[in-house]
Amino acid sequence: MMLLARYYFGSLKGSKIMFSVLIMSILAGCTFNYTEYSLWAGDFSNAFPTLSSGRVHLECWHGDALIGQAPGQAGFTLGANQGKRCEVAVHDLLERDRPFSLSFKFKTAAENSSDHYWHSYFQVHSFPDEGEQWRCPIMALEALQGELRMFNRSDKEAIAHLPNGTCAGEGNSISSRTLFENLPLTPEVWHEFRMSGVLSTSDSACLTVEIDGYVVSAECGANTFNDKSSPFLKFGIYNPTGWNGISTLSIEYKDIYFSNDVEL
C-alpha cells in the first residue's frame, strides 16, 4: 500500500509539528527518500514570512522538500520514479478582483536543452466547484528545453464546459494565451520572477510579469476561472510528462514576497 505524505499548516506560531516519515513508510510497506522529516510552523514562517498567514499544504510523494534551512529559502528535488510532484500550495492569500503583487528568486539545477518534456516550477491553481472537473492551472511557469514559458487560462462560465480535455481544447469554455516563451533559463543562477495585477473574469483586469527586471508580459482581459473559491499559489516541481536525458529536477527559492496591499 502506498502512503501519500501530506502536511498541513495554518498560521499557528511556535507549535512543533513532527512527522516521522520513515516509521510511517515502514508501516505502509513502502520506502520514502525521507529518513525523519521534522517541520516547525515557525520554520515555514521564517522561510516565507509574507505567506505565513496562508493555509499551507505540502504534497511530496518521494521527493525532497527542504524548508527553512536558511531564512527566506526553500528547495525541492524530484527524481525519476518519484512521482510527478513535490510542491507546496499556499491558500487563502490570493483574492479575485483584488490587486496583488508577488515576487521571488529561483535557481534551478541543470536543464536538458534537448528534452521535449516540459515541467513547471510555479503555478496559480484553482479548486473546481461541485460537479466540475479539475482543470489545467490558471497559470504555470514552465521549463522546456532549457527555456522558460508561461501560459494563462480563463473561463467566465460558472461550471466549465469541457468536452475536449481539461485545458483550452476546441469546444471548451476555457480560453488560453501565452504570456511569454523562449526565455533562456540559466542553471545555477538566481533568476527573479515578479507578477502584479488583478485576477478576475473581467475584461478590464490586467496582469504584468517581469523576469530579471524586464517586463515579459503585460496583458489585459479575463485571466482566471469563475470558481467559488479563490485561486491559490503553488511552488515546487510538477512533472506529469516524463523524463528524457535527466534523472533529477531541483529548484531553490528565496526572497518570496506577497502583498494584497498594492495600488495599480
> What secondary structure does DSSP assign to the chain, as a single string?
-PPP-EEEE-S--S-EEEE-HHHHHHHHT---S-S-EEEEHHHHHHHSGGGTTSEEEEEESSSEEEESSSTTEEEEEEETTS-SEEEEEEESS--TTS-EEEEEEEEE----TT----EEEEEEE-PPPTT------SEEEEEETTEEEEEEEEB-SSS---SS-SSS-TT-S-EEEEEEEEEE--TTS-EEEEEEE---SSTT-EEEEEETTEEEEEEES--SB--SSPPEEEEEEE--S--SS--EEEEEEEEEEEES----
Nearest to 64, CA basis, from 22, 110, 19, 33: 33
Q: What is the pLDDT of residue 125?
A: 95
pLDDT tens-digit profile, the chain (264 residues)? 233 333 333 433 333 333 333 323 323 333 333 322 334 334 555 677 788 788 887 787 666 777 656 667 888 899 888 888 988 888 999 999 999 999 999 999 877 777 788 999 999 999 999 989 889 899 999 999 899 999 999 999 999 988 888 888 888 899 999 999 999 999 999 999 999 999 999 999 999 999 999 999 999 999 999 999 999 999 999 998 888 767 889 999 999 999 998 776
Q: What is the pLDDT of residue 235?
A: 93
Q: What is the pLDDT of residue 241?
A: 86
Reported pTM: 0.83
Q: What is the pLDDT of residue 69?
A: 62
Q: What is the pLDDT of residue 162?
A: 84
Q: What is the pLDDT of residue 66?
A: 72
Q: What is the pLDDT of residue 7?
A: 38
Q: What is the pLDDT of residue 44?
A: 55
Q: What is the pLDDT of residue 256?
A: 93
Boundaries of every domain in the chain:
6-259
Q: What is the pLDDT of residue 189?
A: 95
| Cα–Cα distance for residue pair 243/27, rounded to 1 Å | 30
| Cα–Cα distance for residue pair 226/207, rounded to 1 Å | 17
Q: Please name the fold of domain 6-259.
A: Jelly Rolls (2.60.120)
